[in-house]
């Protein structure tokens, strides 16, 4: 009896489920995937205004020009059929004609596509992406086709897409196209957890891609070449089946990061992970709907596409919920789980964009061993490249702009993330911790971007703090975008690499100055991609700097990277070695003077000219005799007669005559000189009656980041 009840219950459950599917299918009269018929008129009204007006004109022009069968392919089809569907909506008097065009394209052109599991990527991704658009279009013109025509189109689509399994490589494109078809047919009525989880795995909690910059744009970023990977979420949102996407905080952060931090000032991808400098970004259709996720992301997208016209297509025209945003140039940004993306003003296409990459929670097949790895752009070019693509042979740490112990691969592609950062006007600092990538050693890499000012040029400083076992070698790799030869200006100290490996702007170079002199530097040409896959892809130059630790197993390494015009006179450095520290004076032609100190001994005490400093690393800038600011790392004391501080425990801070940004890794006190006419604020709160002795104010600091200023 109990068995009979169980069987009966199961049967009723199946009946209810099928009934629910039937009700869903019947309640969603076509079109319903990304637009409904009662919305057509509102979309027609938009065509009187920009950017919709230009998009409408573009769609009509494409439609009337006809489909060029001689160059037909999956991507050409998805572009053309999407334009025809938009013309169908915008010109109701000719909608029957456009519906017939759609039918003919599906039956006569989509039938020629060859989706197959036997041709790897090309047999799966392009056709499945194109069929995703075809499904959306069939839904739109549904009501102007006969039942027989609809059935013929559905049969063709179904027979083609089911040549591709629901599971396999390139999972998201399978889920996106099959899932959209399931919704069209009324089979899927609830959230798609497999798809959602797959999308979330490609985004760190802070919104950065752990994959590569290229795949970030092509996958979740909505590339035309894989349009169903990201476009499926728009179908799920519009139908109300799964509305976990537009309001998702991780996706909001991701789109902000994508359209700002991931690209350089010349709007090219930073080179991280499996990618080539020859790969470019396009005016992809799904970029138009970024505002559905986030207004700030949309303003960055408007900056990125400032000179691009949106294309005439159902996806770019129908999906955006809001009018285009005003452009907003990106600034430096920091992601604990992802990296530091430092930049000069985004409005300067020649400005520096410097990346310190460090992901801590997840990686993927295309991720390289780039923990504490670098990407660098400036003068309109990518200045550093990596091992390129595709897969295992290109991932090795030695083929990326990072650091190894004895040349061995990293144990993990994950690190401990970005653990410190300070951002002030014309100055950015960040530090990444290698963590599990080098579990038997210790490696913190700091990157400092000095912005261009009226009195100084822009450049980047690197500080590597390393601790290893005695007898081990520390090897730092740099891969300039150079395929000819790197000029040696001073052996083991200064080099200049002409940027001739896929340059965007001719006549530029990268100056590389090892302020901490290595034992030796090896120069070689290395592969920029897998030769079997890219047999004619040129190699690029690599500099391999080799260091030994001191008697305690430690080594602090300072390197200066100088983007420059090829004809520009090299940076003027005056190095000097003292018993306990190195000092480098950099004299700018426009008047500024920089001093860089690096401590060599455990007592960390530096006395130079009229300076006194106790700490590991120190930077001082003055312009025309006036102190601009100082930056001190792991420091307890500084005095130059104008700027002064003391601390009970080590601090990292940036300081000028009015403002201080300080990082305290533990609770401590900082002592500052009192100024009779000015009051001191900490984290926007006035410090009332600070304890004062001998002209020094004692300020308690809790662990964390603090901002202080005099007013």
**DSSP state letters, 163-198:** TS-SSSSSHHHHHHHHHHHHHHTT---S--HHHHHH
- Rg of the chain over Cα atoms, rounded to whole angstroms, equals 29
- What's the pLDDT at 676? 66
- What's the pLDDT at 38? 96
Place of tokens 């501080």: 645
CA distance 496 to 694: 51
| C-alpha torsion sign, points 524, 530, 532, 533 | negative
- What's the pLDDT at 5? 41
Residue 378: closest CA among 342, 404, 407: 342
Record the tokens describing residue 225, joined without a space. Answer: 């070449």
- What's the pLDDT at 569? 84
Record the tokens describing residue 176, joined without a space. Answer: 């996106």
Q: What is the pLDDT of residues 303-337, one digit of tens each?
A: 999 999 999 999 999 999 988 889 999 999 999 99
Q: What is the pLDDT of residues 652-686, one digit of tens each?
A: 999 998 999 999 999 999 999 877 668 899 999 99
Residue ranges, CATH 1.50.10.100, the chain: 20-318
Place of tokens 């007669």: 641
Cβ(493)–Cβ(513) under 8 Å? yes
- Helix or strand holding residue 593 (H, E): strand 592-599
Q: How far is CA 222 from CA 1, 94, 288, in A?
A: 55, 31, 10
Averaged pLDDT score across all residues of the chain? 92
Residue ranges, CATH 2.70.98.70, the chain: 331-565
Record the tokens describing residue 169, joined without a space. Answer: 């490589």
CA distance 406 to 547: 10
Chain centre distance of CA 204: 11
Chain centre distance of CA 60: 35
Q: Report angle CA 270, 272, 274 to the nearest 5 degrees.
A: 125
CA distance 548 to 604: 19
Record the tokens describing residue 532, joined without a space. Answer: 């079997």
Residue 37: closest CA among 127, 142, 179: 142
Q: For the domain 20-318, what is the CATH superfamily, name and number? A: Chondroitin AC/alginate lyase (1.50.10.100)
CA distance 570 to 592: 16
pTM, 2 dp = 0.93
Place of tokens 């990326």: 400
Q: Which CATH fold topology does 331-565 show?
A: Beta-galactosidase; Chain A, domain 5 (2.70.98)
Torsion angle of the four alpha carbons 9, 15, 20, 26, in this order, in degrees rounded to the nearest 10: -170
**String of DSSP letters for 308-338:** PPPPSSHHHHHS--SPPPPP-----EEETTE
Residue 131: closest CA among 162, 97, 101: 162
- SS3 at position 221: coil
Bridge partner list, 631:
619, 654
**String of DSSP letters for 596-640:** EEEE-STT-EEEETTEEEESSEEEEEEETTEEEEEEEEEEEEEES
Q: What is the pLDDT of residues 264-296, one digit of tens each?
A: 999 999 999 999 999 999 999 999 999 999 999
Going from the first residue of the chain to its last (711 residues), give the mean pLDDT of each consecutive group of 10, the final group possibly shorter: 42 38 54 98 95 96 86 90 98 97 96 92 96 98 98 98 95 97 97 97 97 95 97 98 98 98 98 95 96 97 95 97 92 98 94 98 94 98 96 93 97 98 96 97 98 96 96 97 96 97 96 96 96 92 97 94 91 83 91 91 77 92 90 93 90 94 96 81 91 90 95 87
CA distance 650 to 667: 10
Residue 710: closest CA among 691, 697, 700: 697
Q: What is the pLDDT of residues 76-85, one digit of tens each?
A: 999 999 999 9
Cβ(181)–Cβ(157) under 8 Å? yes
- What's the pLDDT at 11? 40
**Size of the chain, expressed as the number of residues it contains:** 711
Cβ(512)–Cβ(561) under 8 Å? yes
CA distance 513 to 557: 11
HSE, side-chain direction, 13 A CA sphere, residue 216: 28
| C-alpha torsion sign, points 685, 689, 694, 700 | negative
């Amino acid at each position: 009896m109990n068995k009979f009840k169980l069987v009966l219950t199961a049967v009723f459950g199946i009946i209810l489920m099928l009934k629910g599917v039937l009700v869903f299918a019947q309640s969603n009269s076509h079109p319903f995937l990304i637009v409904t018929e009662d919305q057509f008129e509102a979309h027609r009204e938009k065509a009187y205004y920009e950017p919709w007006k230009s998009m409408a004109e573009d769609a009509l022009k494409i439609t009337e020009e006809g489909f060029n069968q001689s160059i037909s392919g999956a991507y050409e089809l998805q572009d053309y059929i999407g334009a025809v569907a938009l013309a169908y909506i915008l010109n109701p008097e000719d909608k029957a004609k456009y519906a017939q065009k759609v039918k003919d394209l599906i039956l006569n052109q989509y039938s020629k596509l060859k989706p197959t599991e036997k041709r790897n990527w090309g047999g799966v991704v392009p056709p499945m992406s194109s069929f995703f658009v075809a499904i959306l279009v069939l839904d739109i013109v549904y009501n102007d086709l006969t039942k027989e025509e609809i059935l013929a189109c559905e049969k063709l689509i179904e027979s083609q897409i089911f040549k591709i399994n629901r599971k396999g490589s390139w999972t998201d494109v399978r889920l996106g196209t099959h899932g959209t078809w399931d919704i069209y047919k009324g089979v899927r009525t609830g959230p798609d957890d497999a798809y959602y989880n797959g999308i979330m795995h490609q985004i760190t909690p802070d919104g950065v891609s752990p994959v590569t910059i290229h795949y970030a744009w092509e996958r979740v970023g909505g590339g035309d070449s894989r349009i169903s990977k990201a476009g499926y979420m728009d179908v799920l949102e519009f139908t109300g089946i799964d509305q976990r996407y537009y309001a998702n905080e991780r996706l909001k952060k991701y789109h902000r990061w994508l359209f700002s931090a991931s690209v350089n000032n010349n709007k090219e991808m930073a080179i991280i992970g499996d990618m080539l400098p020859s790969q470019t970004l396009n005016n992809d259709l799904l970029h138009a709907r970024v505002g559905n996720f986030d207004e700030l992301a949309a303003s960055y997208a408007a900056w990125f596409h400032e000179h691009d016209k949106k294309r005439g297509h159902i996806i770019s025209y129908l999906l955006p919920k809001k009018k285009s945003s005003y452009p907003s140039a990106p600034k430096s940004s920091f992601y604990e789980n992802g990296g530091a993306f430092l930049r000069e003003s985004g409005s300067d296409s020649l400005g520096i964009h410097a990346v310190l990459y460090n992901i801590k929670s997840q990686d993927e097949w295309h991720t390289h061993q780039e923990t504490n790895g670098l990407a660098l752009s400036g003068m309109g070019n990518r200045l550093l490249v990596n091992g390129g693509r595709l897969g295992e042979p290109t991932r090795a740490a030695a083929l990326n702009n990072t650091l190894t112990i004895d040349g061995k691969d990293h144990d993990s592609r994950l690190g401990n993330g970005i653990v410190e950062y300070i951002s002030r006007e014309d100055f950015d600092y960040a530090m990444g911790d290698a963590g599990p990538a080098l579990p038997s050693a210790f490696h913190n890499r700091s990157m400092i971007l000095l912005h261009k000012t009226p009195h100084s040029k822009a450049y980047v400083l690197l500080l590597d703090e390393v601790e290893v076992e005695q007898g081990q070698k520390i090897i730092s790799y740099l891969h300039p975008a150079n395929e000819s030869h790197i000029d040696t200006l001073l052996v083991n100290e200064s080099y200049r690499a002409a940027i001739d490996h896929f340059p965007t702007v001719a006549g530029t170079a990268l100056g590389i100055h090892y302020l901490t002199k290595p034992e030796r530097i090896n120069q070689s040409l290395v592969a920029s991609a897998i030769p079997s896959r890219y047999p004619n892809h040129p190699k690029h130059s690599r500099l391999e700097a080799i260091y030994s630790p001191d008697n305690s197993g430690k080594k602090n390494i300072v390197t200066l990277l100088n983007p420059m015009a090829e004809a520009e006179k090299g940076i003027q450095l005056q190095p000097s070695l003292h018993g306990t520290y190195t000092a480098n004076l950099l004299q700018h032609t426009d008047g500024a003077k920089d001093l860089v100190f690096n401590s060599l001994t455990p007592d960390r005490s530096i006395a130079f000219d009229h300076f006194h400093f106790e700490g590991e690393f120190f930077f001082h800038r003055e312009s025309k005799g006036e102190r601009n600011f100082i930056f001190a790392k792991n420091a307890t004391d500084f005095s130059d007669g104008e700027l002064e501080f003391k601390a009970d425990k080590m601090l990292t801070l940036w300081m000028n005559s009015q403002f201080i940004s300080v990082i305290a890794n533990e609770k401590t006190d900082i002592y500052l000189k009192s100024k009779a006419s000015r009051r001191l604020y900490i984290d926007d709160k006035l410090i009332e009656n600070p304890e004062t002795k001998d002209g020094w104010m004692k300020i308690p600091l809790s662990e964390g980041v603090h901002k202080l200023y005099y007013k």
